[in-house]
Amino acid sequence: MSILKDMGNTPLVKLKNPFGDNFAQVYLKMEEFNPGGSIKSRVALQMIEDAETSGVLKSGDTLIEPTGGNTGIGLAVASSLKGYQLVLTIPDHFSAEKIEVLKKYGAKVVLADHRLGNDCHIQKAKELLKDNPDWICLNQFENPSNPKTHYLYTANEIIEQLNMPIDCFVSVIGSGGTITGISKRLKEENPNIKIIGVEPEGCDILNNIYVPHKIQATAVGKVGSFFEQSLISSMISVDFKEVQEIRNYLSLTQGLFVGISSGANVLAAFKESTKWDSSKIIVTIAPDSGKSYLELYDK
C-alpha cells in the first residue's frame, strides 16, 4: 500500500492563547503529518491525479514546477512513487535543508536569483519550459486542483473535527489556493464567517504590492488565477521578528515546532482573537513544521 493513501486527516489542536482565556479560542491544523511533511502534498497529489485522469500526464513524462519548497516536496514524493522525472525551480535564498530534502527525493533543483524579484523562480521555470517544450508544468498558480483539494478535503476535515460553528479562518496567502478552497467550503457552513488573509509587513497582496521579506511561501510575487479576493474580509500584516517569537512560544509552551508561515498564521490568529470573546472559534493552518527552517530559526 502506497504512503499516498495516508494523505489528509491531520490533527486539529487547540492552542493556549498568550493573551489569556477571555478571548476567542484558536485551533491549529497540523499539516506536517501529511506524507512529505506539509499541506502542499495535498495539492501536489491532487494535481498529478487530475492530470493523469485527464490524459495530460503519462508514464515517463518530466514535470517542472516553480516552488518555495513544500509543493516541490509533495511533487517529489508523488513523482518518485509514480515514476515521473521532476525539475523544480526555487529562490536561491530559501532553506538549504528543504533544498537538500528535495534532492534526496530525486528531484533536480534549479536555483533562481532571488535578487530578480519574489517571482524569480516562476520566471526561471518559464525559461526552462521554453527550452524544453515536452516538459509538463502542472502550475500550482493556475491549476484549479490547488483550491479543489482544500475545498473537498482540508475544509471538510476541519468541519468534521471541530463539529461546532467556526467564526473566523486565518491564512497566509501564497498562491491563494489554501485560503480560497477552505474559505469557500467554510462559508457554505457559515456565510457570516470572517476570512483573514495574512501577509508580511510591507506587502499589500490585494493590491499586487510585494517587497522582499523573510516569511517563506507567502507573498511570492503573484497569486493564482483561482484566488478569490472577494472571500477576504480583511488582512493582517505580520513582522518576521514577532513570527519568530510566536514560533518560540509554541515550541516552549505547547510542544509545537512549526514552520515560518505557520508562525505567521498563529501570530495573526492570536491578534485577531483579542477582537472576539471566548465563545468564538478561530481556525488557522500550520502548513509545515520547523524542521525545514533550522538555519533560520533564530535569525
Cβ-based neighbours of 141, under 8 Å, separated by 6 or more: 122, 175, 222, 223, 224, 225
Task: For residue 111, give the C-alpha cell.
Answer: 536555483
Whether residue 139 is contained in a domain is answered as no
Query: Do residues 183 and 264 share a domain?
Result: yes
* One pLDDT digit (tens) per residue for the chain, 299 residues: 578 888 999 999 999 999 999 999 999 999 999 998 999 999 999 999 999 999 999 989 999 998 867 888 899 999 988 899 999 999 998 878 778 888 998 999 999 999 998 889 989 999 999 999 999 999 989 999 999 999 999 999 999 999 999 999 999 999 999 999 999 999 999 999 999 999 999 999 999 999 999 998 899 888 999 999 999 999 999 999 999 999 999 999 999 999 999 999 999 999 999 999 999 999 999 999 998 787 665 55
pLDDT of residue 296: 64
Query: Do residues 192 and 57 share a domain?
Result: no
Query: Do residues 8 and 112 share a domain?
Result: no
**Domain end call among 131, 163, 181:** 131
Query: Do residues 123 and 153 share a domain?
Result: no
Give the number of other CB atoms < 10 A from CB of residue 187: 16
Query: Do residues 48 and 152 share a domain?
Result: no
**Domain end call among 72, 101, 131:** 131
d(CA 161, CA 69): 28
Cβ-based neighbours of 135, under 8 Å, separated by 6 or more: 61, 62, 63, 64, 87, 128, 129
For the question of residue 40 being annotated catalytic, the response is yes
Catalytic residue from among 5, 14, 16, 40: 40
pLDDT of residue 71: 86
Query: Do residues 175 and 274 share a domain?
Result: yes
pLDDT of residue 172: 98
Query: Do residues 55 and 94 share a domain?
Result: yes
The answer to whether 239 touches 2, Cβ cutoff 8 Å, is: no
pLDDT of residue 228: 98
Q: What is the CATH number of the domain that holds 59?
A: 3.40.50.1100
pLDDT of residue 128: 97
The domain total for the chain is 2
Query: Do residues 173 and 120 share a domain?
Result: no
pTM of the model: 0.91
Query: Do residues 163 and 204 share a domain?
Result: yes
The answer to whether 173 touches 205, Cβ cutoff 8 Å, is: yes
| Range list of β-strands (E), the chain | 12-14, 25-30, 62-66, 85-91, 108-112, 168-172, 194-200, 234-238, 281-286
d(CA 90, CA 66): 6
d(CA 32, CA 11): 9
Q: Checking DSSP bridges between strand 194-200 and strand 168-172, what pairing results, if any?
A: parallel
The answer to whether 158 touches 166, Cβ cutoff 8 Å, is: yes
pLDDT of residue 1: 53
Which residues span the domain enclosing 83?
40-131
